[in-house]
Structure 1
Amino acid sequence: MLAGRLNVKTRTFSVEEVPTPRPGPDEVLVKVEAAGVCLSDAHLIDGTLTPLYLPGDTVTLGHEVSGVVAEPGPGTTRWRPGQRVLLQAGEDRGGAVWTRGVDYDGGWAEYAVAHESTLVELPDDLPFEQAAIIPDAVSTPWAAITTTARVEPGRPVGVWGVGGLGAHAVQLLRVVGAAPVIAVDPLPEARKRALAFGADLALDPDELELPALVRAETGGAGLAVAFDFAGVPAVREQAVACLDRGGKLVLVGLTDRPLTISDGTAFSYFQQQVLGHYGSSEEHVAQLVELVRRHRVEFSRSVGGTFPLAEAQEAVDRLLRKEGNPVRLILKP
């Protein structure tokens, strides 16, 4: 079968023929129908990210995956051929969370093996392209909103960075009743998308009076929660300046740059908080699939284009160029 393989030692990526895997006990072989292309995949290729648990030097990329059960492994009775499923983006192995497509082979391939506990059945009317992006692109902001930030209805929130994660954050903040939802992004196309996804106000971070505009929109109070999906130090300083008393800054975008609070006295006086966030858990994916099943959310606007698996490198390059400003690009094996 074809698979998108990365040598993490040389950072060499290629789509090549490899043996089709076989499912072992408690495993399922899945015929991949769609796989998301994420910035973290690009960062694995360029060396910004390195697997923590990968045995060996080579891995098949892809942690956002959906498909059809092809073959249950020996003794596996929970799943049957033909069932439509998505794959959780990781699994617990000995108390450590291993990430699919990072620490073990992922879904940039014609077939993928998954532990039976990491499959989630899909509604018949959920397209594979939309299902694939739920683990990570949708579940990460959902977990940040519902678990880390615990956003309350009717409370003002801000979203810095309306890309693959932030765009879904805007959409999901409306689901939980946050109001107003204020989006901040330097790209005009991203601000336009934020409004289309449900933001009440979209601002350019270069606006000199941005904190004043945020406070005007929130009746002078400021934000209960500010989400940083950009991972940029300047964003964090600006977001803190927009917080209400007791407000929270939630860090979702990843960076190795230091976090600084320029006015520590004010930060302490107003009892503000900084919270780190990473990824999501199995229940968040299950919740989102149920919301889709009940037609509370849908993600058709999130698919910015599809590519055959053989053109995986071009999909990565297009994402990095922000060509067309896509939320997510999809590989179709």
Structure 2
Amino acid sequence: MGSLDYLKPTKTTMKAQQYDARDNKLYLNEVPIPEPQPHEVLVKVACASLCHSDIMLFEPNDQGLILGKNPVTIGHEATGVVVSTGSGEVARKFKTGDNVGFICAVECCFECEQCRKVHNAYCAKGTTKMQGFTLDGYFQEYVCVDARATMILPPELDVKTAAPLFCAGVTAFHGVEDCGLQPGQWMAIIGCGGLGHLGVQYAKAMGYKVIGLDIADQALEEAKNCGADHVFNSMTDKDWQKKVLEITGGGVDAAVNFTASKKAYDDTPAIIKPGLGLLMIVGIPRQPLELNALDIALGRYRVKGSNNGTCYNMRPAIEFSAKHNIKPHLTLYKLEELPKMIDLMATQGRMGVVFD
């Protein structure tokens, strides 16, 4: 145990970045270090990364985002090292020093059909909570996570940089894979930033031809570096839709929208191959989407969503990432700099806090 002594807390409290709904602000608070319940493991956080969903706490939205505990530690993407385990059999499968990643759903059964095939949010128990929203999340030094939603990292993945894979990675992987394309078919990745740059990597690893679309040249450069065959700035290139149709011979076979832009959704059907193509919904705009019912009824294109993370579809995404060297491009900060990260969210790719 000698070399693992650094994992143990040296005091009973820790620093946490907490959102307070009373004034819609973030505070660096000192909070108690939790103790694991029988089904939990206590993890020393190695890296917690910032996701657009975290920012939705600060924004008006009508997409069903619910805040529970207040103030609440934000963050729902993280990796870390096991410090101790609860007394239950599922928790004791882990040992001190294990590098782990996890997803944020807790207090669900993980066994009902909804948990296994839909999403933990719709658990039959009706008691599901999400760490980072309804319970304390991961922008703190230690966290207790459900052992059933936790996995040991493949050795190819670095515990200090793999955090985005446990939300962004799982989301991007299944957003791409669930389109069901064959190698050689065309896929549009809409939004090439924090999620999309991973989507491009997954799509290329699966053998697809990829067109990256964004309104930021920096994100498009990232898409090219990740292997995109063509990229277009849909704001500055007025002929982007025509060019996509020409390149693909009539439209892409699937368009995966990773953005929170309603306009991006409105513009996408024009580049989808009529009668065969798919619009994959991943990004969540503030406003509800508007789809042309006649287009859907006549089969002009199909619409589908992708499950963005359960303990059942987490492992395939992580193992694929390790096998194909899929890595998030992550800029690292200190916990105290989280407000700065939030300010940069619109213009910078994935960002994370690394804990000592």
Q: TM-score, normalised by structure 1?
A: 0.89
More strand by share: 1
CA gap 1:103/1:268 in 2 versus in 1, 3 angstroms: same
Question: How much does 1:265 deviate?
Answer: 5.0
In the aligned structure 1, how far is the partner of 2:162 from the partner of 2:148? 17
Q: Describe the superposition over 1:181-221 as per-residue Cα deviations: whole angstroms up to 9, x where unpaired.
A: 11111111111111111110001213232222112211x23
For 1:26, the equivalent position in structure 2 comes to: 39
Is the contact made by 1:66 and 1:87 (CA closer than 8 Å) also made in structure 2?
yes
Q: Which amino acid aligns with 1:129?
A: K
Q: Describe the superposition over 1:143-197 as per-residue Cα deviations: whole angstroms up to 9, x where unpaired.
A: 11223x223322111111111111111111112211x211111111111111111
In the aligned structure 2, how far is the partner of 1:311 from the partner of 1:181? 35
Question: How much does 1:332 deviate?
Answer: 1.8
Is the contact made by 1:15 and 1:312 (CA closer than 8 Å) also made in structure 2?
no
CA gap 1:279/1:310 in 2 versus in 1, 3 angstroms: same
In the aligned structure 1, how far is the partner of 2:296 from the partner of 2:245? 17
Is 1:319 matched with 2:333? no
Is the contact made by 2:36 and 2:85 (CA closer than 8 Å) also made in structure 1?
yes
Is the contact made by 1:226 and 1:249 (CA closer than 8 Å) also made in structure 2?
yes
In the aligned structure 1, how far is the partner of 2:190 from the partner of 2:321? 25
In the aligned structure 1, how far is the partner of 2:277 from the partner of 2:64? 33
Provide the alpha-carbon RMSD of the alignment.
2.2
1:300-315 alignment, distance < 5 Å? 302-303=329-330, 305-315=331-341
Q: Give 3-state SS (helix, strand or coil) of 2:93's partner.
A: coil
For 2:10, the equivalent position in structure 1 comes to: none
Is 1:169 matched with 2:199? yes
Q: What are the ranges of 5 or more consecutive residues in structure 2 without an aligned counterpart? A: 1-13, 110-122
Q: Which amino acid aligns with 2:140?
A: A
Is the contact made by 2:60 and 2:286 (CA closer than 8 Å) also made in structure 1?
no
Q: Give 3-state SS (helix, strand or coil) of 2:337's partner.
A: helix
1:76-95 alignment, distance < 5 Å? 76-91=91-106, 93=108, 95=123
CA gap 1:310/1:165 in 2 versus in 1, 3 angstroms: same
In the aligned structure 1, how far is the partner of 2:129 from the partner of 2:181? 28
Question: How much does 1:293 deviate?
Answer: 3.8
For 2:27, the equivalent position in structure 1 comes to: 14
1:263-274 alignment, distance < 5 Å? 268-269=297-298, 271-274=300-303
For 1:39, the equivalent position in structure 2 comes to: 52
Q: Which amino acid aligns with 1:87?
A: F
CA gap 1:151/1:92 in 2 versus in 1, 3 angstroms: farther
Question: How much does 1:111 deviate?
Answer: 0.2
In the aligned structure 2, how far is the partner of 1:278 from the partner of 1:200? 27
Q: Which amino acid aligns with 2:94?
A: W
Question: How much does 1:267 deviate?
Answer: 5.6
1:134-173 alignment, distance < 5 Å? 134-147=165-178, 149-173=179-203
Is the contact made by 1:185 and 1:204 (CA closer than 8 Å) also made in structure 2?
yes
For 2:234, the equivalent position in structure 1 comes to: 205
In the aligned structure 2, how far is the partner of 1:16 from the partner of 1:222? 51
The size of the alignment, in residue pairs, is: 321
Q: What are the ranges of 5 or more consecutive residues in structure 1 without an aligned counterpart? A: none
Question: How much does 1:276 deviate?
Answer: 3.3
Q: TM-score, normalised by structure 2?
A: 0.83
In the aligned structure 2, how far is the partner of 1:33 from the partner of 1:10? 29
1:45-84 alignment, distance < 5 Å? 45-48=58-61, 51-52=65-66, 54=68, 56-75=69-88, 76-84=91-99
Is the contact made by 1:3 and 1:110 (CA closer than 8 Å) also made in structure 2?
yes
In the aligned structure 1, how far is the partner of 2:22 from the partner of 2:182? 45
Is 1:330 matched with 2:352? yes
In the aligned structure 2, how far is the partner of 1:265 from the partner of 1:19? 55
Q: Which amino acid aligns with 2:103?
A: Q
Q: Give 3-state SS (helix, strand or coil) of 1:133's partner.
A: helix
Q: Which amino acid aligns with 2:327?
A: F
For 2:327, the equivalent position in structure 1 comes to: 299
Question: How much does 1:278 deviate?
Answer: 5.2
Is the contact made by 1:63 and 1:90 (CA closer than 8 Å) also made in structure 2?
no
